[in-house]
Chains A and B, each alone.
Chain A
């Protein structure tokens, strides 16, 4: 087993080695992931596709450091993160990963800009800088005018763009998007997807997109297909 720090310079951004995940409910255990091997390089736009129950959400939870695998190793920037404590994982989520969920997941009683500032608050940044950083992130998703609105005062598409701003505000190298267009119509969905492309192209952020929709998945440069807890294909998408 390699020690991540020694090879940091040329390590891939994400490397999964033989990841397995078993859930136990009562006496019955479900093997949700079976020996996943996946490498994602810095700056990639990867789509993970699969039907519901295929294990793609579990895979995303592990990639996003929300959950720990039952077996295998996960190297993030060359560092093995599979054995870290929940507080250490929280710090990785804060600094390295931005999340965009299907249901937007904004905190309703915080204003738009306060929602965007939240990751900075948990990383312990000073408020004056954090307000500027949040405004910059909002500008990137064309919402600089809506900072003082509340989530229930703006449209679903706008809410999802706020979520994108929140994901990028900490300059996280990885953006994880779980069915980001699932609650939006196709026009707004396309709009949101354009912002992911923009972030990928302009900021060099690595985008990991999880979807069951082939059209949405098609925004990625690489398509990883998951079925029955295994990766059955990983192909570069040619436009």
Chain B
């Protein structure tokens, strides 16, 4: 019974506040304009930030999932230190050993070389990658037409190639490349598949400008070496990437006979960590923008306080009447607090609409695809409610402390 009464009274208060605010539509609207703009810009900036971080995530994912890249180490001969990737110390046997590690799902030894690819008098310089049959899986990169080369084709060093979209367009134009024979480094290769379009990677490289051949063929017939440029490894899950990293490090140190306290002669790069770093910098940027936008919410709150002070003064007589009838201090306080909360909450709701509008306009007119999630919506609603309560408190407190005799005398 008591509970029911309290609930009912609260709705009465809400209704009364709503009616009061509707009586002064333009003033109420101008009062909450600050909140509308504040909430709108918070939501818009966060949606831009999240869109940007999704774009970064996508471009990193496009390089492969849960991926680790193992590069040869740097050399230090006679005091001259070279960069990573110089030592010819990663071999196919390393690749086969890594394949057996528990945290590793698949791997692919890679050797990439710039080569001239020739077809019927037409030629094109592109990146020729020697890879294992697991290449499509590790790089999240299926073939669009034809097939990828098999494990047997890698084992037998077959003369087969799978061509990327850009390279295919440059060499073959509109002709279907599958079944044609191209010449790379004087060796004929049959095109057996066309890779799907991958786009540019995070570093602005066109990933589709490539031809992929078995790593064995690459080593034996083109490069004439036994070492690979890089080993790409896919961990079982995203959580396994650091485990895989330490397993690989331990294994390669053992295989390369590196004594303790000597530096590694290879380098393991964790792309998941790279993604996390890129993401965190995008987040920092979003937080910075959103906090600037939040300042306008604060300014909006001051606007509410200003108008509530005016409203309290204007309604001094009403406050006096209510007190004479039996309103306690808390009743008056509650009445004005509810009014300011309804104001700011309403501003928050309109602001969310504005934020949606801005972010969909950005999506429509710019390449960035913004993302509006529920979190900033809930946070800005709660925040605008808090602004209403915080900035409404002083005027409401002032109203509740009025002397009924003086308030009744006010005209």
Chain A residues packing against B (C-beta within 8 Å): 61, 64, 66-67, 86-87, 90-91, 93-95, 99, 101, 105-107, 109-110, 118-119, 121-127, 166, 170
A87 CB to nearest B CB, Å: 5
- Tell which of A61, A93, A126, A127 touches B325, judged by Cβ atoms closer than 8 Å: A93
Contact (Cβ within 8 A) A107 B5: no
Contact (Cβ within 8 A) B331 A122: yes
- Tell which of B4, B318, B326, B404 touches A123, judged by Cβ atoms closer than 8 Å: B326
Chain B neighbourhood of A123, CB < 8 A: 326
Chain B neighbourhood of A125, CB < 8 A: 5
- Tell which of B4, B318, B331, B405 touches A66, judged by Cβ atoms closer than 8 Å: B405
Within 8 A of A (CB), among B1-38: 1, 4-5, 8-9, 12, 16, 19-20, 23
Interface of B is mostly: helix
B256 at the interface (CB under 8 A from A): no
A101 and B325 in contact, given A109-B20, A124-B9, A126-B5 (Cβ under 8 angstroms): no
B317 at the interface (CB under 8 A from A): yes
Contact (Cβ within 8 A) A127 B8: yes
Contact (Cβ within 8 A) A93 B8: no
Quick one: closest B residue to A114, CB to CB? B16
Contact (Cβ within 8 A) B19 A122: no
CA distance A89 to B405 in the complex (A): 13
Chain B neighbourhood of A95, CB < 8 A: 326
Contact (Cβ within 8 A) B19 A109: yes
B328 at the interface (CB under 8 A from A): yes
Chain A neighbourhood of B4, CB < 8 A: 126
B322 at the interface (CB under 8 A from A): yes
Pairs A–B under 8 Å by Cβ, sample size 25: A61-B405, A87-B329, A87-B330, A90-B323, A90-B326, A90-B327, A90-B328, A90-B329, A93-B323, A93-B324, A93-B325, A94-B325, A99-B325, A105-B317, A107-B318, A107-B322, A109-B23, A119-B326, A122-B322, A122-B328, A125-B5, A126-B1, A126-B8, A127-B8, A170-B326
CA distance A122 to B5 in the complex (A): 12
CA distance A106 to B321 in the complex (A): 8
Chain A neighbourhood of B323, CB < 8 A: 66, 90, 93
Chain B neighbourhood of A127, CB < 8 A: 8, 12
CA distance A124 to B334 in the complex (A): 14
Chain B neighbourhood of A170, CB < 8 A: 326
Contact (Cβ within 8 A) B324 A64: yes
Given contacts A66-B408, A94-B325, 17 further A-B contacts (CB under 8 A): A66-B405, A90-B326, A94-B326, A99-B324, A101-B408, A105-B317, A105-B320, A109-B19, A109-B20, A110-B16, A119-B326, A121-B9, A122-B331, A123-B326, A125-B5, A126-B4, A127-B8
- Tell which of A86, A106, A107, A124 touches B329, judged by Cβ atoms closer than 8 Å: A86
Contact (Cβ within 8 A) A87 B19: no
4 nearest CB pairs, A to B? A94-B326, A122-B326, A87-B328, A90-B328
Chain A neighbourhood of B5, CB < 8 A: 124-126
A86 CB to nearest B CB, Å: 7
CA distance A24 to B23 in the complex (A): 40
Contact (Cβ within 8 A) A105 B408: yes
B9 CB to nearest A CB, Å: 7
- Tell which of A93, A105, A106, A109 touches B326, judged by Cβ atoms closer than 8 Å: A93
A103 CB to nearest B CB, Å: 8
Chain A neighbourhood of B329, CB < 8 A: 86-87, 90
Chain B neighbourhood of A61, CB < 8 A: 405
Taking each of B1, B12, B327, which has the highest tally of chain A beta carbons within 10 Å of its own beta carbon? B327
Quick one: closest B residue to A90, CB to CB? B328
A238 CB to nearest B CB, Å: 34
Chain B neighbourhood of A66, CB < 8 A: 323-324, 404-405, 408
Contact (Cβ within 8 A) B328 A119: no
B369 CB to nearest A CB, Å: 48
Contact (Cβ within 8 A) A119 B20: no
Quick one: closest A residue to B11, CB to CB? A127
Chain B neighbourhood of A90, CB < 8 A: 323, 326-329
Chain B neighbourhood of A121, CB < 8 A: 9, 12
Taking each of B1, B322, B325, B408, which has the highest tally of chain A beta carbons within 10 Å of its own beta carbon? B325
CA distance A138 to B367 in the complex (A): 67
CA distance A105 to B319 in the complex (A): 11
B7 CB to nearest A CB, Å: 11
Chain B neighbourhood of A87, CB < 8 A: 328-330
Contact (Cβ within 8 A) B405 A105: no
CA distance A119 to B328 in the complex (A): 11
Chain A neighbourhood of B20, CB < 8 A: 109
CA distance A105 to B321 in the complex (A): 6
Contact (Cβ within 8 A) A118 B325: yes
Chain A neighbourhood of B318, CB < 8 A: 107
CA distance A105 to B409 in the complex (A): 11
Quick one: closest A residue to B407, CB to CB? A66
B324 CB to nearest A CB, Å: 5
Quick one: closest A residue to B323, CB to CB? A90
Chain A neighbourhood of B1, CB < 8 A: 126
Quick one: closest B residue to A128, CB to CB? B8
CA distance A162 to B388 in the complex (A): 35
Within 8 A of A (CB), among B168-217: none
Quick one: closest B residue to A172, CB to CB? B326
A122 and B327 in contact, given A66-B408, A105-B317 (Cβ under 8 angstroms): yes
CA distance A109 to B23 in the complex (A): 9
A151 CB to nearest B CB, Å: 11
A68 CB to nearest B CB, Å: 10
A33 CB to nearest B CB, Å: 14
